[in-house]
Structure 1
């Protein structure tokens, strides 16, 4: 038996109590909406309530009341009459943001790639152009579509979304759960173009069902839940599987087996050197976000790893991709297994796929199942999954386990050579590209005109809710604190949130109201400094002074730019027509940026340049002490502007 480690909840009764407290907390905040003086204040609070519902487990998966209020706000504030005819064959995908990690952006990418009959464009409600991930850009380009990014408050975004959307025959929503912009837009009484909503995160509350002419569900379990608990009529809810079973399609992120012809042994040798495992021993791999491995009542992934390695006499290495290698749990596992079981953090998709492809066994994350099974199946690697709920179990057949002990037994079967029966048949369940495309075409043809949908949601507290509450509660509170401190919330509402936080023991605010206030003032000070720097720059340009000329006179020819947000990108553009060459940018969020120059992280090895221009408010010495390359001189951009005056 797997040994048990002490956890936050001693039993499921405590978990249910926590779920009900979450629900009561949000209901109390929701009751304040009617008291808000303006539509913008109502919209702010509805957005917050939706965000709370989407992060905390409450058993609530949709809200007719909130969506009706959003539709009413949209109609009061947006005057819209169609002014152009939709163009046949064009589909507009609406996303909140894209990301290099997780399955959401892969789903959008694959949808575009597998549907060759239509032209796809994508509009983002909360992402800037330079942060849209590359593989989405490439797929839209292959489809001959365009990328749009909305700006302004939610009402302005909704107006712009309506204007853009007139050009398309169908609308397809892949938005984040709390996104109110599509409801504000497509709830308009004059909107007639059909809207489809992809239920891509079945375990979360979501906005959008009222404006969906069809809800697209990725699994039978999801379809049933949409109809029974989100309150969508059966005729408006359909099953459309994840294209290509979740494995990314396209040219940018191809797996190792597609990109080169190295044998499995050759690739394993290269990866063994890179990640430090013995290539002559068995390799077990798992991949998933950190929260998917969180220990809950009856299920502890780290203890499973420890027990499996012990029963196999330590003749294997178990790598957990995506798990936080700095957490105490994984450090303890490393020590207890003499380094055989270890978390290796988030990896680029290329390395994640290659490690799965050379593994002797792939174990999907639990308590919450992650992706990777299709990568393993395509590479003919045995894979196993533990199912705590029934969702998706029909796809796995013999590869599924219902208990930790059964998973342990099947894992040992594979490691001892009985692997053929665990190679999987999932690809057949997802169907071919042609089958998927034909199904999607029928769904599209079934809807001719848009109508508002009446939904009748009900609360649900079953196994999935017990599991997800334990996995997500603490992370939800951390994310909510960050969100509340970054948006404009009126004083009365903010005070009420603090009071309810204490009453229901939500754990949102780690500091008192005065400490949080001081931190917000510090953030405001940062924004003020950036604003004043921008003003100084504009004034110098009005006087005909050039940054490029200034740097050239100082003897600089090659530069790097630290801080690649708006200020950094603007400086790249400024210097493009000068005698100064911008070799590269440096930014902590390098992987999420799209820039005209190559962007590195501070800890990367950097090419020598004459000077680094620091466009942030952080002191030079503080930046340099965290950089691998510390010999390159650095100048603060605001000091350069001051010297030019």
Structure 2
């Protein structure tokens, strides 16, 4: 029930970001079922816990980078549910290896197996799916028994997640998550660490032959779904009428995204369509493709997150919009106040190759300070004892954060999102539907 409830809250932004009381109640009720009477020798310093590990993106890539840092090299990895074979190969390079938990017959066996692995570490770093209540319970029990420290890497910081209650420190990675600390009751235990990126030693800009020039953007379909007055499809439709370059969008499936249908079918049957859709691709191919773009535009209304500074570090001119749901990188200083200004500034750049008021060297210096993997890892390593000065945000945010941004989008949706990782609980679903029908009156 808790797993299903957690996924409902994760996929539907009600404005509820943690349920510490539920975590504590479940631990108190069920802790006696688990055996903690065993001794472990040769403990690793860090154990990274992932619910699932994928070939690309998300927590997986973050962990891949952190385990090779100087500060966190004494790491082991535990994947509690599923792992892509290619991801497993990369994660197995951790000094103390990567363990994929065998599928268990029920939650009790699963929690017991996780507790056994937790006994082998000194510090647990949680990279969990927001609905992963089993790992949260296991960590809470192991924390009391084995005196381990718990760091919660707040990757999905714009949605609900289990795990906040058990954490000694919440590792924040954006101004958006930082602004939500009061709703998670984590003001006194948050420390800003940022997102690790594989940045090149030096950013260079390659000369792009005019015949091969294109503008690009990338991201999953939901990141472009219009909301809060922002429409990426409308922006692209207007832009391609003013430029000769093709616009290539990677990862957004137009067939399953109704917000793209109008422009998609308009362009599809033209002899030379200016809007082109490309399928998702491996990270290496994705980086190679985008590094040759004449300009890159970050997704909105939902930001592309790490893609923006990562592409910028390759020397590609980057643009975007400060929607209020930004704050994940110092590169936000390159973004525009609204869609009209974005269009004006992009067109000016394409015509002149100039960006008035932008000090790119200064922005890049901040990007490296915020995202260099060894610098992020060093901040993670001292997180448990970080002073107020060490815990603070790393850069000045160029525009105010709207912490209700995603809540407003959700309240205006015509349908709610059903869990896909968990079998439904009919009682909770009935209660949730009642809430949904009265959502605009709910507080």
TM-score range, shorter chain: 0.7 to 0.9
1:285 corresponds to 2:216: yes
1:434-583 alignment runs, 5 A limit = 434-444=374-384, 462-467=404-409, 474=415, 477=417, 479-480=418-419, 482-483=420-421, 487=423, 494=426, 497-498=429-430, 501=433, 504-505=436-437
- What per-residue deviation string (whole Å, max 9, x for no partner) do you get for residues 309-329 of structure 1? 1122xx111111111132454
Find the aligned partners of 1:186 and 1:57 in 2 and give their Cα distance: 26
Paired residue secondary structure (1:358): coil
Distance 1:248 1:48 in 2: 38
C-alpha change, 1:57 and 1:219, in structure 2 (3 Å) is same
Question: What does residue 210 of structure 1 align with?
Answer: 165
Shift of 1:169: 1.9
Cα contact 1:321–1:343 (8 A) shared by 2: yes
Question: Which residue does 2:343 correspond to in 1?
Answer: 408
CA distance in 2, matches of 1:441, 1:196: 10
Q: 2:138 aligns with which of 182, 185, 199?
A: 185
Structure 1 runs (4+) deviating above 6 angstroms are none
Per-residue CA shift, 1:334-393, capped at 9, x if unaligned?
343441013223222223212210000000000000142233222211001212116317
Contact 2:171 2:383 in 1 (8 A): no
Over 3 Å counting, the alpha-carbon distance change for 1:364 and 1:118 in structure 2 is same
Q: Deviations over 1:117-159 (max 9, x none)?
A: 53222112221xxx43524532432534232314322221111
Partner of 1:330: 260
**Cα displacement string for residues 605-633 of structure 1 (whole angstroms, at most 9, x for unaligned residues):** xxxxxxxxxxxxxxxxxxxxxxxxxxxxx
5+ residue gaps, structure 1:
1-44, 250-256, 269-278, 448-459, 507-645
Q: Cα 1:248–1:123, aligned 2, differ >3 Å: closer, same or farther? A: farther
- Hey, what's the Cα distance between the residues in 1 that align with 2:42 and 2:174? 31
The answer to whether the aligner puts 1:389 opposite 2:324 as a matched pair is yes
Q: Which has the higher contact order (CA 8 A, sep 6+)?
A: 2
- Which TM-score applies when normalising by structure 1? 0.58
Pairwise CA distance, 1:233: 4.3
Root-mean-square deviation (Å): 3.2
Question: Is the 8 Å Cα contact of residues 389 and 464 (structure 1) preserved in structure 2?
Answer: no
Larger Rg: 1
- Seen in structure 2, the aligned counterparts of structure 1 residues 470 and 419 have a Cα distance that, compared at 3 Å, is farther
Matching residue of 1:151: 103
Q: Distance in 2 between matches of 1:404 and 1:348?
A: 30
Shift of 1:46: 1.6
Pairwise CA distance, 1:241: 1.2
Does the Cα contact within 8 Å between 2:19 and 2:165 map onto a contact in 1?
A: no
Alpha-carbon distance in structure 1 between the residues aligned to 2:129 and 2:408: 23
Higher helix share: 1
From 92, 105, 113, the equivalent of 1:160 is 113
Q: Is the 8 A contact 1:74 1:187 kept in 2?
A: no
SS of residue matched to 2:159: coil
Q: Which runs of 5 or more structure 2 residues have no equivalent in the other structure? A: 388-401, 439-443
The match for 2:47 among 84, 92, 105 is: 92
Aligned-partner Cα distance in 1 for 2:125–2:214: 41
| Aligned counterpart, 1:9 | none
2:411 and 2:61 map into 1 onto residues whose CA distance is: 26
In 2, Cα distance between the equivalents of 1:74 and 1:137?
35
Are 2:227 and 1:296 equivalent residues in the alignment?
Answer: yes
